[in-house]
Chains A and B, each alone.
Chain A
Amino acid sequence: MSYVTNLKCRECGQEYAVEPLHVCETCFGPLEVSYDYAKIKADLTQKKIESRPHNLWRYRELLPVESEPSVGLNSGFTPLLHAQRLGAELGVKRLYIKDDTVNHPTLSYKDRVVAVAISKAIEFGFKTVSCASTGNLATAVAAHAARAGLRCYIFMPEGVEAGKIVGSTIYGAQVITIRGNYDDVNRLCSEIADKYGWAFVNINLRPYYTEGAKTFGFEIAEQLGWRLPDHVVVPTAGGTILPKVAKAFKELKDLGLVKGGDFKIYSAQAAGAAPVIHALHKGTDLITPVKPNTIAKSIAIGNPADGFYVLRAVRDSGGWGEMASDAEIVDAIKLLARTEGIFAEPAGGTTLAVTLKLLAQKRIKSDELVVVSITGNGYKTLEAVADAIERPYKIEARLKDFDALYEQLGNGKEKIAGAA
């Protein structure tokens, strides 16, 4: 049933059996899932994929699961929206939003990677699942664990948005906040994973977990009518999704499932946590960790595990990357909400803000096809924009009070015309 052959070190090529293992014993490099692509090519067609339910398992031949998936049955296949009003403001006709603000069940792209990781945890026979998280992963793991009947421990840095703590605890997960930033939590969890033998979705199940991120790319290609975009802009935190979107596009191309055409991929980081962009701009592949400081908490990672692979994917594609300040991030969140009715979290604001810069720099030209990746929902991060929006007016429940306010707001003329 499975097309997986083994795990392989991305650095030294050493091979390992399909086990809960993420680091090469020889060089500490990351392990990645290998597939029998010849067999997949013989079996997988556009038609076969299109005949399946609208969830991420429609690409199951390219995902590392053995048995019939029991979680994530409503995850993935989120809208790819032709953003015409936003596009008109920016002067780009073919601007698309890949909208994971409505991913099921927890409203972020993490539902994809977690659906795969939890399926794998079940296959491996784990009873407890866990993760180190800035919040979105936490809610996704907690929800999927509840659905699968697994025990769940969640580790988050102190200071994440309240909604993300409530949104994890509600599913019955044991939530522990750590005095420190995400990188501190990650280090602790690496040690806990080692000692307690739990399934940490983003540590010892990481090779499987990260494969789930490819579905974001598969869907973009399928929803564009089995073609690749000219440009795709992706946020970068730990560096999982960007290289996997590039890998997804490459797999589809190699399997002959999409019409050719080269794509360029771009990384977006918040200026307060931009170690990958600094390295990109300096022309080095050495990523110097930073201490994160940004309102974009879901992407506030100073020491990204896959930063090196983000650089490589960006450079290989001929793409680029930029960073956005907190103020630019908030403006972009408001712009997207106002023009397209999509409320993104700060990671999404970062991605759109960076897209504006890439357009201004003419790296992306106005007649080309651009996909902006919106990976998380703004309802989880109300704190980030609360101070930047207009306060509501407060009046008594009397019509004349409203008439006066309406006048004051400069709408008097319009009102009279309408009434006449």
Chain B
Amino acid sequence: MPVRVRVPTPLRRFTAGADEVAADGASVKAIIEDLEKRHPGMRERLLDDKGALRRFVNIYLNGDDIRFLDELNSKVKDGDDLSIVPAIAGGA
């Protein structure tokens, strides 16, 4: 069973409009590589040219910000939920 990935509006042009897609991989980094294979163009939107998560992108693994886990190396298992969410939101 693969991982479910929630896709925000700005990325849906890579997923033919789908708001949720499946991907395989044992870490967040591997999931992003798999997303790139299935939906070319996505990696560049998520990672900068040094391969780090972009400043204005948040990724949540089962609801937890991966910055509180092991960042891009955070371990992922089958059935997990991954959410990609633009960081620009909020204001109490």
Contact = CB atoms under 8 A, between A and B. Distances in A.
Interface of A: 11, 22-30, 110, 113, 132-137, 180, 182-184, 186-187, 189-191, 194-195, 200, 202-203, 206, 209-210, 237-240, 288-289, 291, 298-299, 301, 303-306, 308
Contact of A238 (B9, B19, B86, B91): B91
Give the interface centre of B19, B57, B91 by most chain A CB atoms within 10 Å: B91
Contact of B67 (A182, A288, A308): A288
B67 to A, nearest CB: 5
B55 interface: yes
A28 B58 CA distance: 10
Contact of A298 (B9, B86, B90, B92): B92
Contacts of A301: 90, 92
Given A25-B10, A187-B58, A289 B67 contact: yes
Nearest to B64: A184
Contacts of A289: 65, 67-68
A278 to B, nearest CB: 13
7 contacts: A22-B89, A186-B90, A187-B83, A190-B8, A288-B67, A289-B65, A303-B87
B63 A28 contact: no
Contacts of B60: 187
Contact of A24 (B10, B13, B63): B10
Contacts of A288: 67
Contacts of A202: 89-91
Interface of B: 6, 8-10, 13, 19, 45, 54-58, 60, 63, 65, 67-68, 83, 85-92
B46 to A, nearest CB: 9
A28 B89 contact: no
Given A22-B89, A305-B91, A194 B63 contact: no
Contacts of B68: 289, 291
B6 to A, nearest CB: 7
A29 B6 CA distance: 19
Contact of B9 (A11, A133, A194, A299): A194
Contacts of A298: 92
B92 A23 contact: no
A136 B54 contact: no
B88 A132 contact: no
B89 A308 contact: no
Contacts of B90: 132, 182-183, 186, 202-203, 238, 301, 304-305
B67 A28 contact: no
A194 B60 CA distance: 16
B91 A206 contact: yes
Contact of A28 (B83, B86, B91, B92): B86
A168 to B, nearest CB: 13
A189 B89 contact: yes
Contacts of B58: 187, 303
A305 B87 contact: yes
Contacts of B92: 110, 133-137, 182, 237-238, 298-299, 301
Contacts of B6: 191
B67 A30 contact: no
B11 to A, nearest CB: 8
B28 to A, nearest CB: 16
B56 A191 contact: no
Contact of A303 (B13, B54, B65): B65
Contacts of A303: 58, 65, 87
A186 B92 CA distance: 9
A98 B65 CA distance: 36
B91 A190 contact: no
A26 B10 CA distance: 8
Nearest to A195: B19
A306 B92 CA distance: 12
Nearest to B48: A27
Given A23-B10, A29-B56, A303-B65, A240 B91 contact: yes
Given A194-B9, A299-B92, A28 B87 contact: yes
B65 A28 contact: no
B51 to A, nearest CB: 15
Given A28-B56, A133-B92, A184-B63, A191 B86 contact: no
A296 B75 CA distance: 34
A191 B83 contact: yes
Given A23-B56, A303-B58, A30 B88 contact: yes
Nearest to A307: B87
Quick one: which of A136, A191, A299 has the most chain B CB within 10 A?
A191
A292 to B, nearest CB: 11
